[in-house]
Every structure is written in C-alpha cells, then in structure tokens.
A and B are shown apart, each in its own frame.
Chain A
C-alpha cells in the first residue's frame, strides 16, 4: 500500500514537474527563441540573416532593423533572438554569471520621457540616454528613435569594466534599412515577392 502510494506520489510529482518544464515551452518566449545570431550580412552576397527579416516583420512600420555587424568579441555570447508581432529583441551577455547584459529591442515606439537627447552617432536616428543606476553596477537605457520604430539598448553592467560593453553596443550592433531588406527579399525571389504587403509603401 505504501509502495503504491509512494509510486502514485512520484508519478504525480514527475508528471507535474515535466508538465512544468514542458508547460513553459508553450510560452512563446522559449520554444520560439532562436539561438542563431541576426547578422547584418552573411555569405558572399552580403544578405542579412533571416532573423533580421523576422525582426522587420515584427515591426512592419520600422524603417531600421537592428542586427549584428560581425562576430562577437571573446567573452561575449549571443543570448538568443525572440521575435513576435509588435516586438523583437536579442541579448548579448558576458561573464560566467552574465554580469554584463546588453539587451537590444525593436519596437514601434519608445517612451523616452525622463531621458536626455544627445548627439546621435547613427544617421536618420535620434539618440536618447537614461541612466537609472551607476553604483555598484550600471543600469541604463539608450534609445534610437526613427521613422516607424525605436531601438532600445538596455544595459545591465557589473561594477568592473563597464566601458567595454558600452563601446560594444556601438561597434557590434548595427542596423539595416527596411528598404535594403525589401530589396533582398525581392532579389532572392527573382522579383516575385516583397517583404511587405503590396501597397504598403
């Protein structure tokens, strides 16, 4: 009897546990995440990765789409790409406990209230900065606002060597125009397909 009871208990717990494990896979952020880096250009033709196109589809109004210009420097890892209707994001992490995290997010718009506009280092984009915390670690956001969209860099950095991640965000994370992506889709399908619905400008 006790054995049967214990067996039943184990079965329930295991079932629920596995259900939990699997249940989370229903959450769209997990099963649908991609571990492949969204490179701005790849191969001989220099075409953007499909992950970049997927991000463009997330925010159909965005005239710019973030991407990675090249390989990440040693010590940095790609944290996965999650794209869904209305929002797309990927992250870069560093350190064994992910002490340094840069999150890059594309949305139709951003709430830049409380941030300060500074000179932009990217053409066609306005840049805003907001620092939430400086000690012991650095927490802040950088916004690039452009026509039809906004790219947000979220920084969560440890107390050491915070300059490197801030520089990395500017060097490694780039952006491609929607027009370039449309042209890519058009060319790859021999002119038969377009990224956006015909008539959407």
Chain B
C-alpha cells in the first residue's frame, strides 16, 4: 500500500505529569546467602511427608538389595493373624462398611464428583492439578506394585475383595491422594480445611484398619500407600496450586490475584525499603476487577506529604496464564502481531518496566516508573510506579476538547516514537484535573505494525466518543490526523481488535459509535484482513484438534463405561 499523506500536527505533545513526591532512604543490598524477602518453600508438614516418602522408597531398596522381604512378610503376617484372632461376624460387617471408601466404585464416585464440582465452579487450575495427581499416583502405584510383585498376605483368610499385587496398597494410595486433593481443591483454607484434614484422616485410618482386619493388604502396604498418596497430593497442590495464589473460595471475583496479607505483605514492605528505599506502611489490593494478568496494589509510602505508589505484583502463575492466553489467541486469530509468550516472570516484568521507561522518556503521560522489586527470585516481582491518586476512568470522567486533544496527541506521539499501546480501553485512560494519563503498558510493543498503530487510533477515538459523540471527536482528530489516517484506522478496527471492555461499553450504550465514525469519513478503505494463517498457527491448530480428538476418544472409552 502506498504511504498515506500525513496531516501536520496542530496540537503539541501530551503534557507530562510531574514525578511523585515520595521520600526515599538509603537502599540496602542483600548479601550473599541471605534469604530473599519471601523465600519459596513447602510447609513443614509437606517436608515431613516428603521425608516419609523417601523413607518408604529407601526401605524398598534396602529390602530388595538385602533379600529380607521375608522378615517383613513374617512381621506383617503376625500382625494380621493377631487381628484375625478377634474377628466376629458383626465386626466383619463394620469393617466392610469402614472399607467402602477404598472400593473402586467409591473412588470413581469421589473422582467424578470432584471433576464435576471443579468444572461447575470453574476452578481449572485445581482441576488440572487433581488430574495430574490422579495420573501420577495411579501410574506410579501400578508400576511399583508390578515391580515389587508382593503377593497378598499369607497364612490368613482374606475376607474382602482385592486385585493385583499388594505393595503399595493401591486402594489406600488412591484414597489418600483423592481425599487430600478434595480437601485442597474444594475446602477453603483455614478452620474449614483443618477440620477437613482431620475428617479425611479419620476416614483413611478407618479404611486402613478395615483392610487390615479383612486381610486385604499387609500393614506395610497400607502404610506405604497412605504415605505416598498423601505426599503426592500435598506436594502437588502446595507447589502447583498454592493457596495464596489460587485460594479456594466460593465468593465471586478473580482467583488469579495473590494474597498480600501476612508474610507476603511484610515481605513487600521489607523489599520496598531494601531495594527502592521506599518506606511503605500499607499494601492493599487495588482495582482487582480490571486486572487479570497481575495483582495491582496501592501502597502507602512516606513522602511530603505521605502519598501512594502503584505496584503490579507478578508471579510465575501469571506467566503461565499469559502463555495459555497467547496460545488461544494464536489459534483463534492467527498472528495479529507478536504473540510469543514470556518464559519467565523476570522477563515479563523487565519488559513492562522497559516499555514504561521508553514511553516516559518519550514524554507520554504514563506513570513514572520507580523500579522493580524482587519478592521471591524467579517467582515473584513487583513493578512499582507512580500512583494517580484521585484519577477517574475516562468512561466516568468529564470529557472536554482538551482531554480529547490529549488522547489523540498520545496516539500521535506513540506513532512518532514507534510504539503501540495495544490495549487502549476506558480502564487504561485516567483523567485527573483535566489531564489524561495512559496506564498499563504490559501489552505495548516497540516498532509495531502499521495496522496495530492504526488500531490504537481508532480505539482511542472510540473511547473518547463514549462520553461525547463521534462528530466532536472526529473534528478534533482531523487537527492531528489526516482523513486517510483516520480511514485506515477504522478499516483496521472492528470486532475483536477492540478490547472487550470497550466493546462491552459500546453495546451497553446501544450506539453504533463505530458506524457513526464511518459515516463521517469522506471515503472508506476496504477492511484490513485480521485473520493471518502461518505454518505455526496451522501446526498448533492441527496439534490441538488432534489432542481434542484423542481426549474425546478417551472420554468415550473410559469415562462413559462402568469400572470393572
């Protein structure tokens, strides 16, 4: 396409807000060997269970190497024979009832009930960890039993049903893993979960005793099964779905936000002091509803007078979410622009900080960057910027010609310095005392495609038109942009190229603002194609569809059929 004539700018660059008046003290370097502000670790009980699991594996190795399995057989048999000595008909019936949770049907029910509940409450992370735990313990337990090949108990009548080799006890392994997974995925942390842990502890003990009474397993089989099952589930949930990142709750709201109370809150305050010299005295979540990719925070700091700074807390989980988000976008829309995912939370934060500084240096009205704070190395970082106290979203603020001009000059300036914001929407444009500010540069791109630059312009015009009208915004836009540039912007922008918040607000107003702008154009350019096919997209689509097909086949073959 031939280059379009550009209208000479008639409005100066956007006004730059002054830096925040925060008080800074001497920073402190963390010496080698000193723990980071928030060390990453398992809880004490997790370590205890991991230690027990290690002990089980070591015991197996020693028994196999020293050929002393008969010693264990004898001890186990004597215990079982002693238990069998107290068998009575009524006690047997009690044992059969107590052992019900460890039966295949009960386990199947427990599993499917969890899946249904987790799907209904849309707790995907917990569901995937659940599935992972299930697969891991089932495969590991089956493989170990096949490798160790321990027969069922000798010298005592087995009263209950059983299947396969006995070490470790697969029913107890699965029951323990399932119950712990249930508690960690369905029961909120705190008192409820503590009660839940005691309840499942009782269930596991009763089921284990039942299996010993009925002589279905050896005592060491039950012990090994419980230790491995609890450890796997505990470690998986604490590492992959930690409660402070993915809390179990049944109230509305996003669950991807980190809990900034307790140890993390203290770590943030300490880290701000050490790494940026900021004296913070309060850390509070702020504007969670508008943020899914990080945990936004308002941090009260000492200043002249005391003021606030803004923090965006990023964790490894946000990087994974970003990865999934970009994969889905690639599948659905192709390569609209750079959709390559970040590979570490450090890179993500570094990039956002860089773009923010670039825009700040270019005189764009963005928040002053104050630096990056490390909370947990490679896992959690805090990006700290100026806080626009008292500012309102552009959708709620009074919009006059000066604000419209500022918004349009922001786009013009971005074009001049070669960046695109890529997420121009009401939530990212704030107004305070007649000054417009641009926030959230996480999606910004350096040297974007001309198409993406054009989309920024159209989205800015649409946002500014929300509280005014198309004719007014268009007339102001013509002071900074040519008709050709505006026509290109609206040829590039439609449907999914608009942020969902903007689309939602346009629908709410019931106005065809996009159509109004098109009517004002002296001529229209043909719509720019946004579906781009690449070999990568084709490959990913084929791989995803193949995966889905396999999944459907697995569902048909396994879930729909009754357990054997």
Interface of A with B (CB < 8 Å)?
A: 1-3, 6-8, 10-36, 49-51, 53-54, 57, 60, 82-85, 185, 188-190, 192-198, 200
Contacts and interface: CB of A to CB of B under 8 A. Distances in A.
Given A17-B552, A21-B554, A85-B158, A27 B564 contact: yes
A2 B496 contact: yes
Given A26-B107, A188-B70, A32 B163 contact: yes
Given A16-B115, A193-B154, A196-B155, A22 B496 contact: no
Contacts of B158: 57, 85
Contact of B162 (A23, A27, A84, A189): A84
B170 A31 contact: yes
B77 interface: yes
21 contacts: A15-B127, A19-B111, A19-B112, A20-B551, A21-B135, A21-B554, A22-B131, A22-B138, A24-B563, A25-B135, A29-B564, A30-B142, A31-B141, A32-B165, A54-B149, A84-B162, A85-B158, A85-B163, A188-B70, A193-B77, A196-B154
Contact of B155 (A7, A19, A49, A194): A194
Interface string B148-178: 0111101111101111110000100010000
B122 A8 contact: yes
B48 interface: no
Contact of B151 (A14, A31, A57): A57
Contacts of A197: 155-157
A19 B557 CA distance: 11
Looking at B111, B152, B161, the one whose CB has the most chain A CB atoms below 10 A away is: B152
A20 B496 contact: no
A85 B161 CA distance: 6
Given A2-B332, A54-B165, A197-B156, A189 B70 contact: yes
Nearest to A51: B149
A25 B139 contact: yes
Contact of B558 (A11, A23, A82): A23
Contact of A11 (B74, B124, B141, B155): B124
A34 B564 CA distance: 16
Contact of A17 (B163, B164, B324, B554): B554
Contacts, number: 182
Nearest to A181: B151
Given A6-B331, A34-B146, A192-B74, A84 B161 contact: yes
A190 B70 contact: yes
Contacts of A3: 325, 328-329, 332
A50 B154 CA distance: 12
Contacts of A21: 135, 554, 558
Contact of B73 (A10, A14, A30, A189): A189
Which 5 interchain pairs have the tightest Cβ spacing? A32-B164, A17-B551, A20-B558, A25-B138, A28-B163
Nearest to A25: B138
Given A3-B329, A28-B104, A11 B127 contact: yes
Contact of B142 (A7, A32, A60): A32
Given A3-B328, A20-B554, A20-B558, A15 B119 contact: yes
A15 B151 contact: no
A1 B503 CA distance: 11
Interface of B: 70, 73-74, 77, 104, 107-108, 111-112, 115, 118-119, 122, 124, 127-128, 131, 134-135, 138-139, 141-142, 145-146, 149-152, 154-158, 160-165, 170, 174, 324-325, 328-329, 331-332, 496, 500, 544, 547-548, 550-552, 554-559, 561, 563-564
B499 to A, nearest CB: 11
B149 A83 contact: no
A25 B152 contact: no
Contact of A54 (B135, B152, B156, B552): B152
B219 to A, nearest CB: 15
B149 A50 contact: yes
A81 B557 CA distance: 22
Contact of A32 (B70, B112, B170): B170
Contacts of A12: 119
B115 A19 contact: yes
Contacts of A18: 131, 134-135, 551, 554
Contacts of B135: 18, 21-22, 25
B99 to A, nearest CB: 13
A33 B145 CA distance: 9
Contacts of B160: 85
B128 A11 contact: yes
B268 to A, nearest CB: 30
A19 B161 contact: no
A29 B555 CA distance: 18
Given A84-B161, A194-B154, A16 B142 contact: no
Contacts of A8: 122, 124
Contacts of B107: 26
Given A1-B500, A7-B324, A82-B164, 13 more contacts: A12-B119, A14-B547, A15-B131, A17-B551, A17-B554, A19-B115, A20-B559, A21-B135, A23-B111, A24-B557, A83-B163, A85-B161, A189-B70
B138 A16 contact: no
A188 B111 CA distance: 41
B332 A6 contact: yes
A7 to B, nearest CB: 5
A13 B563 contact: no
A55 to B, nearest CB: 10
Nearest to B544: A10
A60 B111 CA distance: 33
Contacts of A14: 128, 547, 551
Contacts of A31: 138, 141-142, 145, 164, 170
A15 B164 CA distance: 28
Contacts of B118: 15
Contact of B559 (A16, A34, A50, A82): A16
Nearest to A3: B328
A61 B149 CA distance: 22
Given A21-B135, A26-B563, A85 B162 contact: yes
Nearest to B321: A7
B74 A189 contact: yes
A3 to B, nearest CB: 5
Given A22-B138, A36-B149, A83 B164 contact: yes
